[in-house]
Structures are given as C-alpha cells and as structure tokens.
C-alpha cells in the first residue's frame, strides 16, 4: 500500500513537469499494465481495481499538492541536478520494457514504431519551447466545455508513456493558468476561504471531470492495442521512453553548469535510476 502510494507520488510529480511523462513514470515504477487493467475493468473487477487505483490516486494527489512547490523550488535552485534526477527515474524503468521484447525478432514494423514515437515526443518538445497565449479561465458555458475538453486531452496524454500531459497543456496555453488555479485552491483550502474555494471549483471541477473521462477512454484504447499488437506497442513505448530525456533537455533550463553541478548531477542521475529500479520491483 505505502509502496503503491509512493509510486503514485512519482507519477503526480511527473505530470506537473513539462517534458516529463506520468505514463513513462508508471512504466518505470512497474505499475503501468496494472493501472490500465484496473481502469478498464473497474466495474467487472471493482474491488481488485480499487485496491490498485485508490493508492495511486492518493499518491498522485499528494505528489501534485504537497511536492509541486518543492519541485518548482528545486528546478529554480538546482535545475541541472533535478533534470538529471528525473532522467534517471525514466531510464531506470527502461530494462523492464526492453525485457518484454528481449530475444524476439526485430521487424520493420517495430523499428518504424520506435522511430515514429521517438520523433513524436521530440517534435512536441521542440514545439513546446514557448508557451502559447495564456488561456481564458473566466466562468462561462463555452469555457466550461473548453476546460472539460482540455482535461480530456491532458489526461489522455498523461496516460500515454513518453507524452507529457503538462507539455500538452503548455502548447494549448493552459499550463500556467491551471497550475495557478490549483495553487490558489490549495491556499484557499488551507485558510478555509469558502468564496475562493467555490471560485476555484468553476475551473477545477470541469477540468477534473475531463481528466477522469480522458483516462478511462484512452486506457481502453491502450488495452486493445496491447491485446492486438503487443510487440509493436512495446517498441513504441521504448521509443517514447528513449525520447523523454531528449524532451527534458529541450523543454527545461539547466542553469549554470560547473564541475560541482556535473558531479552532483551524476549523483542525482544515479539516485534516480536506483529509485526507479527499486520502486519497479514487485
């Protein structure tokens, strides 16, 4: 239970960092298949699914709420080490996926899947270097529908390994506005400012509902793909994972690099790999 919550925390933190994929982190932590199965069999295997989903959701919420500002502080003060930590967390999960295709014949379709999805992540990162115009979150019927749709797109990409949900929000101009709304909602919750909480709900409720719908919709599609084309799917995920460090380098600032930052950065990279391998163990 505690270990599953910690894995959820890592996913939650990953989802708020542009260029880092929550889906990739789920793969690295060894819970991706279980999470997809639980989401698509929620009603037919309700008890078993909830035992998997509840600690993950709790962990993700803790990661987003409790660690968002800490991670933001780390990126501000020690960006090089923090980026390498997340690269280590991602790379540490790669052996678990390559093991799925080890010893099997590599076909042209596998190579194409790898290259296509590698290019997809790297291309999105290049497009996402600058955020678009900040979106309007004022309360109106049209904006509620828009925010619901944005929640669907963001959550769907969060579930796909290698594709950063926060990067998609950035491309659509919703990243900073939504993150500000979350932080403001937390502040209002701590001070128990009811009018502020109600105001925040006008944005976060439709966004949250969109997230839920998006996760279940894409989870079913992913399950079908894994049933029909498992090897192609794994090679596509390998392409997404390998491209993720490239996306992190393209999307994030690394600050001033000195001999000390390189040494501590290598230590952070190694720590990330070890943490990922340990959390990925059954």
CA–CA separation, 30 vs 19, rounded Å? 20
Residue 135 in contact with residue 173, Cβ under 8 Å? yes
Q: Is 257 exposed, middle or buried (0-12, 13-18, 19+ CB in 10 A)?
A: exposed
Q: What mean pLDDT is predicted for residues 21-31?
A: 76
Q: Model confidence over 188-215: pLDDT tens digits?
A: 988 888 888 998 898 889 998 998 888 8
- Greater model confidence, 68 or 177: 177
Q: What mean pLDDT is predicted for residues 204-232?
A: 86
CA–CA separation, 252 vs 236, rounded Å? 24
To 10 degrees, the CA torsion angle through 204, 210, 213, 215?
-80
Q: What is the DSSP string of 36-94?
A: HHHHHTTTTTHHHHHHHHHHHHHHHHHHHHHHHHHHHHHHHH-HHHHHHHHHHHHHTTH
Tokens of 280: 């990925």
Q: Model confidence over 124-134: pLDDT tens digits?
A: 777 654 444 45
CA–CA separation, 168 vs 158, rounded Å? 9
Domain ranges (residues) in the chain: 2-280
Closest listed residue to residue 75, CA positions, set 189, 3, 166: 166
CA–CA separation, 96 vs 102, rounded Å? 10
Residue 280 in contact with residue 90, Cβ under 8 Å? no
CA–CA separation, 142 vs 270, rounded Å? 47
pTM above 0.75, yes or no: no
């Amino acid at each position: 239970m505690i270990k599953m919550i910690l894995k959820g925390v890592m996913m939650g933190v990953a989802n708020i960092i542009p260029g880092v994929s929550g889906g990739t982190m789920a793969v690295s932590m060894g819970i991706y298949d279980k999470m997809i199965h639980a989401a698509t069999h929620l009603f037919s295997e309700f008890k078993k699914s909830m035992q998997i989903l509840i600690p993950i959701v709790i962990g993700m919420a803790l990661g987003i709420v409790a660690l968002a500002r800490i991670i933001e502080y780390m990126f501000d003060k020690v960006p090089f080490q923090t980026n390498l930590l997340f690269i280590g967390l991602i790379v540490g999960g790669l052996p678990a996926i390559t093991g799925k295709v080890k010893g099997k014949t590599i076909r042209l379709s596998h190579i194409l899947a790898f290259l296509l999805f590698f290019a997809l992540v790297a291309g999105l990162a290049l497009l996402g270097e600058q955020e678009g115009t900040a979106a309007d979150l004022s309360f109106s019927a049209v904006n509620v529908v828009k925010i619901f749709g944005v929640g669907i797109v963001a959550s769907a990409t969060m579930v796909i390994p290698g594709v950063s949900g926060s990067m998609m929000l950035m491309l659509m101009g919703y990243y900073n506005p939504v993150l500000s709304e979350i932080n403001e909602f937390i502040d209002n919750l701590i001070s128990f400012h009811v009018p502020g909480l109600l105001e925040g709900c006008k944005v976060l409720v439709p966004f949250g509902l969109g997230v839920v719908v998006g996760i279940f919709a894409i989870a079913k599609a992913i399950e079908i793909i894994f049933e029909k084309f498992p090897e192609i799917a794994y090679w596509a995920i390998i392409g997404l994972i390998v491209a993720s460090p490239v996306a992190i380098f393209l999307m994030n600032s690394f600050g001033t690099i000195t001999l000390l930052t390189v040494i501590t950065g290598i230590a952070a990279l190694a720590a990330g790999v070890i943490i990922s391998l340990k959390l990925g163990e059954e």
